[in-house]
Amino acid sequence: MATRVPISDWDAISDNLRRFAPNVDRHEAKLIARMGVARFTITREGHVTAGMPLHDFDGRADSLVFDHRAGAIRIERAGVTYVFRRP
């Protein structure tokens, strides 16, 4: 079951990202998850950078949808959807 978390709920973003990835660092107003060569960064303002070899994402999010069982985070903003899959 997927969990939709608005960017305004920073504690839930942090909890879900730490559940999603084993290596998450907090740097002031952003969280950085590293999974081998892949990375996922989110700021309190909703700026997301994510990527791995062959593709990257750099944009804003209104909410993140965590699907822990499928190993995916869906980034949502009006008219834009990007799915980051845990390698």
Domains and CATH numbers, the chain: 3-85 (2.40.10)
Q: How many CB atoms lie within 10 A of CB 19?
A: 12
Q: Are strands 3-6 and 63-67 parallel, antiparallel or unpaired?
A: antiparallel
Residue 28 has pLDDT above 90, yes or no: no
Q: Give the predicted TM-score (pTM) of the model.
A: 0.92
Q: Per the structure block, which two tokens stand in for 47? A: 């700026």
Q: Per the structure block, which two tokens stand in for 32? A: 């950085």
Q: Amino acid identity, residue 81?
A: T
pLDDT digits 0-9 by tens, 41-79:
999 999 999 998 888 999 999 999 999 999 999 999 998
